[in-house]
């Protein structure tokens, strides 16, 4: 009996093993709609290793999509049926559809950075959707032993990392991104345990600090502002938020130490860590 899902796996394995090359008589349109149908499947091989891997390579390396097809794909994944599918729900499989939809923003924007094809309106729409996703996503699981990577916030961070390099993104938006990161770290809903802090620090260090998109004084003030975590009234919320803040600033500290020293920011991090680390008091 024909099994659509298993046949898709067989086809995508074959294409992946052939270095992501389609066969002579094949076209991406033979597969894309079916891949989007299963983009949130709870089979980690199909979802992550085959659907995402093939799509990302077709977008960036193979350039199989036309500009118009990529615009259409981006609009599709930013819709309520994909990135915002049942947004706000927790501990169910809907997050897989959201997370692996938002993950496709990165390769699409990377392709745009190589050869611009998105207009300002589409870039700003993508920005709004990424920040809305980070604000509204409540399923913060990192890895599940049966379903594999979930990692919704890390995937959104990858998209922001690509977005921030677009020429349409200005100082006000850099600050909007920093505020969104701050709010998520202070949310205190769950402790991030799958190196989400490292993915977020890519934005703060590699983009904002290294490229001097915002002043060092702004960054120092932003770090100092994270001390408001101590004012959270609910004890468990405060505890979880403090762990997330400490992990974030420690990741930033060592990124600076290893890759590019900045004494003023380092001193500010040390001062904050001392202030919020109850084990030092």
pLDDT digits (tens, 9 = 90+) for 113-151: 999 999 999 999 999 999 999 999 999 999 999 999 999
Report the range of poorest mean pLDDT among 108-112, 202-206, 258-262. 258-262
The DSSP secondary structure of 113-143, one letter per residue, reads HHS----HHHHHHHHHHHHHHHHH------E
Strands 143-144 and 148-149: antiparallel
Confidence of residue 281 (pLDDT cuts 50, 70, 90): low
pLDDT digits (tens, 9 = 90+) for 59-87: 999 999 999 999 999 999 999 999 999 99
Instruction: Check whether 195 has a pLDDT greater than 90.
Output: yes
Average pLDDT over residues 201-224: 97
Residue 224: per-residue pLDDT: 98
Residues 6+ apart with CB under 8 A from 155: 99, 100, 102, 103, 106
DSSP for residue 149: E
Please identify which residue in the block is written with the tokens 């990135």: 83
Closest CA to 252 of 174, 187, 182: 182
Distance of CA 165 to the CA centre of its chain: 15
Q: Coil, strand or helix: which one is 165?
A: coil
Q: Inform me whether the pLDDT recorded for 234 exceeds 90.
A: yes
| Residues 6 or more apart in contact with residue 79 via CB below 8 angstroms | none
């Amino acid at each position: 009996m024909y099994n659509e899902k298993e046949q898709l796996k067989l086809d995508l394995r074959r294409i992946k093993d052939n270095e992501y090359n389609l066969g002579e008589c094949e076209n991406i349109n033979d597969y894309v709609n079916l891949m989007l149908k299963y983009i949130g499947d709870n089979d980690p091989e199909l979802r992550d290793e085959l659907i995402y891997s093939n799509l990302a390579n077709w977008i960036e390396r193979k350039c199989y999509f036309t500009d118009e097809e990529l615009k259409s794909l981006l609009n599709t994944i930013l819709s309520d049926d994909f990135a915002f599918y049942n947004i706000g729900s927790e501990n169910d499989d809907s997050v897989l559809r959201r997370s692996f939809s938002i993950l496709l923003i990165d390769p699409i924007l990377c392709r745009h950075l190589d050869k611009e094809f998105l207009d300002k309106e589409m870039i700003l729409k993508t920005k709004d959707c990424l920040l809305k996703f980070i604000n509204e996503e409540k399923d913060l699981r990192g890895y599940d032993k049966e379903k594999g990577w979930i990692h919704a916030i890390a995937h959104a961070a990858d998209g922001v990392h690509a977005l921030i390099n677009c020429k349409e993104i200005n100082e006000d938006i850099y600050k909007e991104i920093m505020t969104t990161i701050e709010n998520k770290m202070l949310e205190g809903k769950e402790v991030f345990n799958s190196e989400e802090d490292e993915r977020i620090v890519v934005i703060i260090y590699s983009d904002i600090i290294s490229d001097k998109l915002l002043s060092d004084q702004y960054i120092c003030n932003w770090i100092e502002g994270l001390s408001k975590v101590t004012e959270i009234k609910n004890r468990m919320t405060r505890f979880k938020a403090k762990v997330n803040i400490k992990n974030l600033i420690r990741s930033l500290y060592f990124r600076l130490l290893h890759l590019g020293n900045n004494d003023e920011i380092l001193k500010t991090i040390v001062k904050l860590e001392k202030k919020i680390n109850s084990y030092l008091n």
